[in-house]
Amino acid sequence: MTLLDVDASVVHAGWLPLFLTGLLLVALGVIFFSMRHHLRIADTFPTEAQLRSKRRAAEKVDPADTGE
């Protein structure tokens, strides 16, 4: 007898692999849409270059010009 030599009448395809594949596809779809949503939110955050330019602009303002 060789390894995995099984009679074709004994082995039949079941529904479990198909169900698990479908479940995996659904889980991947949920993860995809969740990540897409969160990445769109994160895309609105200011970049490091924008933060640096705001910091430099704030440093250039003379404290005596504030009107106090």
Helix (H) or strand (E) holding 19: helix 16-42
Q: What rounded mean pLDDT belongs to the chain?
A: 84
The residue-averaged pLDDT of 62-66 equals 63
Could you tell me the residue range of the domain that residue 42 belongs to? 34-59
| Gap between the Cα atoms of 28 and 60, Å rounded | 49
Q: How many domains does the chain have?
A: 1
Angle among Cα 25, 22, 40 to the nearest 5 degrees reads 20
What pLDDT is recorded for position 31?
Answer: 98
Identify whether 14 is part of a domain: no
User: 5-32 pLDDT, tens per residue?
Assistant: 777 777 777 899 899 999 999 999 999 9
Identify whether 51 is part of a domain: yes
